[in-house]
Structure 1
Amino acid sequence: MVESDDDVPQLRADSLAALKEFYQEKVERECKFKKLLEQSEKDFEVEFEENWQLSQFWYDEKTVETMTKGIVKCTENHARIGLISCPTLYKALIKIAGNRQVKIFEFDERFSVFGSDFILYDYKNPLNVPDDLHESFDLVVCDPPFLSEECLTNVASTIKLLTKKNVILCSGSVMQDLAEKLLALKKCNFQPHHKNNLANEFWCYSNFDLDKYLD
């Protein structure tokens, strides 16, 4: 049986226009990211949209401000700070970091615009990080992409490999027991919040008194 053109579903004109606009905006964003990468800029104003397929949920502005200021207060001026799967902290932190060195470990290659501070990271290969970064960070801050035992267990292996001492973990309340078991982390009073409210309650955990550094 041969189908006629009349049998093929057709998009409405307004739907077609919306689809065209979506792809045009996508191309423009990709061009902007490419240009930024070529210029190797750090202090730029560009918005990264959440990719829900990668379980990305950005913090709200208050959380970013509170956490980045706290990170600076709890580290020395020449400290090394590693951010694992929490790229929204990077832009705000790098602006106030002073002489602190900041690295971002991230699976999403859009963040390669951060230049040499970007380290490609896949939690499924937790030990696949550069040898020269082992036990080199005074503070590691992590927000695992998934609320699962597998994900946190793997990420904990990475944290142990990278940190000299201090750890901050942002994750769901359901991960409390596992966070304590794997990394000896305790729940903080501070609670991180997201731009898009999540159904899961999120907590902050650390192996030091983080709350005293947070406003």
Structure 2
Amino acid sequence: MSDIDCDGLRLSRETEAILLDFLAEKEINEKQEKEYPQNFNFAENWQLSQFWYSDETIKHISALIGKAARKKDNVALLSCPSLYISCKAVHHNTIIFEFDDRFKIWEKDFVKYDFNNAYDENYLDEFRHNFDIVIADPPFLSKECFEKFAFITKKIVKPNGKILFCSGEVVEEYVAKFLDLKKCSYKPKHTRNLGNDFTTYSNFNSDQFFE
């Protein structure tokens, strides 16, 4: 007879096995839900120049990750937290670099960073040449911001790694100068209408993955 007793009624071994499997699966699902929440419910912080992508753009960029990343590749998201959940769903080795401490809820997948510290000695050296794909969305459309983002990106990406920047068309000269990225056809959209026209820049044929 089984040792599991429910209000005085003993379960058969077969029923006990089914129940134990159910409880084990439930525990795993609850753990995954805690680690990788399925809903992105964070409000934009305009002081940090945060603007979330539209559902369509999130779908397209996460699809790019799913197609372009090999199983063992490491993917870094720089200052684009609205991509994290969908990208994580299609590629397990995805982490987010963010200044906003709210995203500490993603625990081991969260890296606190400040692009203003880019030139500090040994800054982010633990991630040197660690990522096969880097997706970045610099928060400010300034030369200083892009120069520091470029420095960090070149530090953490592998020598032959893929880079995709999502930003305003007005910064094309900075992107070309500091990272030698080419303007692409795909144009990301946001949940809000922003004053600048946005596009993508990459060092690979990223447009083929958006088709």
TM-score tier (shorter) = 0.7 to 0.9
Q: Normalising by the residue count of structure 2, what TM-score does the alignment of the two structures yield? A: 0.80
Whether contact under 8 Å (1:127, 1:161) holds in the other structure is no
What's the CA shift for 1:104?
A: 0.5
Q: Deviations over 1:151-206 (max 9, x none)?
A: 01011100000001210001110110110111010011100000001010001000
The unaligned stretches of length 5 or more in structure 2 are: 1-32
What's the CA shift for 1:40?
A: 5.3
SS at 1:124 equivalent: helix
Q: Normalising by the residue count of structure 1, what TM-score does the alignment of the two structures yield? A: 0.78
Q: Which has the larger radius of gyration?
A: 2
Out of 89, 93, 101, which is 1:101 matched to?
A: 93
Instruction: Extract structure 1 runs of 4+ deviating beyond 3 A.
Output: 127-130
Corresponding position: 1:167 with 2:163:
yes
Out of 180, 200, 204, which is 1:204 matched to?
A: 200
Out of 36, 41, 51, which is 1:42 matched to?
A: 36
Q: 1:138 to 1:127 in 2, by over 3 A?
A: farther
Whether contact under 8 Å (2:183, 2:199) holds in the other structure is yes
What RMSD in Å do the two structures reach over aligned CA positions? 1.6
Whether contact under 8 Å (2:168, 2:196) holds in the other structure is yes
Which residues of 2 match residues 1-215 of structure 1 at below 5 A?
41-97=35-91, 100-127=92-119, 129-164=123-158, 165-215=161-211
Identical amino acids, percent of aligned pairs: 39
Q: Deviations over 1:63-116 (max 9, x none)?
A: 00001101221111111000000001101111111xx41111000000011111
The alignment covers a number of residue pairs equal to 176
